[in-house]
């Protein structure tokens, strides 16, 4: 059974350099009518001709638009939801089942976990359950893990980011997504000790795209296997050109 999971996970990575570029477009649930995702169908059609290896969508948008993906692009159904209006805003809950994700044609599923808060236990429990059920059906799991909440002062604290990476591996995720701490020594150690691939998040929209590219290059030097960056791509004035620059940084 796990051989199927590994084969599907490997499809997310370029066979020539072992790197990946994932485009998350699940932000409508947390943010509402977010700029850049107003015409999601056209955006997915446009990126079908790019080096994007996977996209992250919630189930409703996957149902409508997943057929626009190219044959080489993988669909990740995001199973976690929570809005910016909720109390607390860092709370995430499961809104999809593994069976529903498979009916939608998912190649993998993703779960969002925030640690360092009073809902941490529930989110960790959700991740554990999803990994078990997904692996029974041969489906990989990407764990998006962040340090957010009442106990967290600095979300990019190198030791906290390293803990997020380790946590994903310990709980059985097949791919771990975290922010890049910008501290290369500890990040490199965390990635080196993680038996599954690590990809970095892009965070909020940055005013200077060149700074984002520099950050990506540093993360790749530390052993990251790719990126899962959304807002800095789909909110870019020229998303396709931004993806080309991003892939150059990832694959350099």
CATH number, domain of 98, equals 3.20.20.70
Catalytic choice (59, 90, 146, 174): 146
What was the pLDDT predicted at 3?
86
Residue 205 lies in a domain: no
Number of domains, the chain:
1
Active site residue 26: yes
Residue 146 lies in a domain: yes
Tokens of 242: 């931004």
**pLDDT (tens digit per residue) in 188-228:** 999 999 999 999 999 989 999 999 999 999 999 999 999 99
Residue 113 lies in a domain: yes
What was the pLDDT predicted at 109?
98
Catalytic choice (26, 107, 126, 174): 26
Active site residue 177: yes
Specify the pTM: 0.96
Q: Which residue range(s) make up the domain with 71?
A: 37-199
Query: 113 near 144, Cβ under 8 Å?
Result: yes
- Neighbouring CB atoms inside 10 A of 192's CB total 10
Residue 252 lies in a domain: no
* pLDDT > 80? residue 163: yes
Q: Which residues, at least 6 apart from 65, have a Cβ–Cβ distance to it below 8 Å?
A: 40, 41, 44, 57
Q: What percent of the chain has pLDDT over 90?
A: 95
**Mean confidence (pLDDT) of the chain:** 96
Residue 210 lies in a domain: no
Tokens of 189: 């150690």
Q: Which residues, at least 6 apart from 96, have a Cβ–Cβ distance to it below 8 Å?
A: 58, 59, 77, 78, 79, 109
> DSSP 3-state assignment of 210?
helix
Confidence band of 16 (pLDDT split at 50, 70, 90) = very high
Residue 155 lies in a domain: yes
Confidence band of 252 (pLDDT split at 50, 70, 90) = confident
Q: How far is 221 from 160, CA to CA, in rounded Å?
A: 20
Q: Which residues of 113-132 are buried (b: 16+ CB within 10 A; e: fewer)?
A: bbbbbebbeebbebbeebbe
Q: Which of 48, 58, 54 is nearest to 28 (CA)?
A: 58
Residue 90 lies in a domain: yes
**pLDDT (tens digit per residue) in 146-155:** 999 989 999 9
Residue 96 lies in a domain: yes
Query: 252 near 220, Cβ under 8 Å?
Result: yes
């Amino acid at each position: 059974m796990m051989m199927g999971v590994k084969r599907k996970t490997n499809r997310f990575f370029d066979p020539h350099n072992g790197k990946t570029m994932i485009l998350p477009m699940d932000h409508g649930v947390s943010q509402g009518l977010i700029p850049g995702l107003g015409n999601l169908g056209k955006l997915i059609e446009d990126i079908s001709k790019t080096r994007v290896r996977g996209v992250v969508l919630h189930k409703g948008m996957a149902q409508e638009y997943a057929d626009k993906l190219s044959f080489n692009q993988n669909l990740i159904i995001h199973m976690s939801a929570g809005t910016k209006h909720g109390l607390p805003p860092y709370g995430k809950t499961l809104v999809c089942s593994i069976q529903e994700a498979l009916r939608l044609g998912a190649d993998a599923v993703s779960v969002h976990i925030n640690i360092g808060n009073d809902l941490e236990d529930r989110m960790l429990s959700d991740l554990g359950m999803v990994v078990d059920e997904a692996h029974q059906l041969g489906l990989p799991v990407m764990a998006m893990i962040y340090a957010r909440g009442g106990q967290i002062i600095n979300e990019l604290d190198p030791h906290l980011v390293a803990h997020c990476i380790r946590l994903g591996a310990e709980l059985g995720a097949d791919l771990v997504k975290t922010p890049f701490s910008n501290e290369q020594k500890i990040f490199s150690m965390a990635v080196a000790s993680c038996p599954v691939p690590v990809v970095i998040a892009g965070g909020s929209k940055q005013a200077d795209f060149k700074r984002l590219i520099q950050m990506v290059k540093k993360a790749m030097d530390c052993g990251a296997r790719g990126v899962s960056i959304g807002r800095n791509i789909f909110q870019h004035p020229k998303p396709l050109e931004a993806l080309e620059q991003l892939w150059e940084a990832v694959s350099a």
